Amino acid sequence: MPSLHCAVECRPFVFCLGTGKGMGLRILWPRTGRDHSVEEEEVGDAATCEFARGFDQVSDEQWRNCDAIVGVAPPSEYLDRLDKCRIVVKTAVGFDEVDLDGYGSRGIPVCNTPDYGTREVADHAIALMMTLVKSIAFHDEALRKEPVANWRPALNPYGRRLSACTFGVVGLGRIGTTAIRRAQAFDMDCVFYDPYQPNGVELALNLRRARSLEELMGQCDVVSIHTPLNDETRGLIGREALAAAKKGIIVINTARGPIIDIDALHDALKDDTVLAAGLDVLPDEPANMNAPLVAAWHRGEEWIKNRVIITPHSAFFTPESVRDIRAFSTRTALRYLQGGRLENCVNGEYLVNAR
């Protein structure tokens, strides 16, 4: 294991680690926790690791002389300090808040870490679906109130035989593919909409393909959202898409909150176009209690009770996935610094004269 050293210019809570042949390279984690064991193990002697507990705890010298940044991408006001930085690796899948153009114009590739929680998020999407279609939350709450009087085995207000249902995915990337494979295991009829997938992918995966979002929404009993958030997908599941939906559809979102117009979803639940929704993500996080859907859910209004399940953007989390994201992001930085291998770059269209 690398030994602990104090850097000359470190401020409080900034730690530098690393020994041996890699001391010429410096990797900075500007906002991290107390445990650095995973990062140290991945780096070994290949570089010096520098850890800070916040952007304001990083010295000017460290900003100017780091070769890579891993973790939360520094905001735009820090960009002009990155004199030597050759790569930024974000320890997350999403990158909608990152100044991709700003980094790219300075020759700094920005990479995400898309493969750390694929199974966890897909599992969560299926778990939300199962909780709703088997009325698990409904029965749990009812039995807690009246364990004897509410012992009603034959009551399942949202019950579906899964093998008689159509499961649709919007966005057939890593997570969408993993989720739809799980749905196939329940013998569900599976269909996807993704205009960016090449022709024939449906044959390779034994799926049906919808050629428009409206076509998908009109046939699904359950639709699960798995697209990135960008200008094209913001508000994608809005009034138009919901108006085209099969009556009684269940909507699952484990991607990004703003992909769904939450006010339109509220109205579609209210008029029973949407039977239920499982949301791990919201447009505002933590939840905006003034949003009509969130307010009605929080108050337990009769019309929405047990029809909406909200979890706190926790789909990705297991101890294994957290270790993976730390390890995978570190490897991405090292591979580029040591051999020029660029993986998972998300600002290629803006990248000018990569460092």
Active-site residue list: 256, 285, 313
- 3-class SS of residue 149: coil
The number of beta carbons lying within 10 Å of the beta carbon of residue 60 is: 9
Is 307:320 a contact under the CB 8 Å cutoff?
Answer: no
- Residue whose token pair is 């799980």: 182
Residues 6+ apart with CB under 8 A from 73: 88, 90, 95, 97, 98, 99, 103, 110
Peptide bond into 74 cis (omega under 30): no
Using N-to-C axis directions, what is the helix angle for 262-270 and 292-299, rounded to 10°? 50
CA dist 181 to 12, 73, 133, 168, 186, Å? 48, 33, 18, 11, 9
**Structure token pair of residue 221:** 């009993």
Q: List the beta bridge partners of residue 253.
A: 225, 279
- 3-class SS of residue 114: coil
Is 7:13 a contact under the CB 8 Å cutoff?
Answer: no
What does the alpha-carbon distance between residue 100 and residue 352 come to, in Å, rounded to a whole number? 12
Task: Give 73's DSSP letter.
Answer: P
Backbone angles phi, psi at 237, to 5 degrees: -95, 85
What does the alpha-carbon distance between residue 48 and residue 142 come to, in Å, rounded to a whole number? 56
Q: List the beta bridge partners of residue 89.
A: 70, 111
What does the alpha-carbon distance between residue 211 and residue 106 come to, in Å, rounded to a whole number? 39
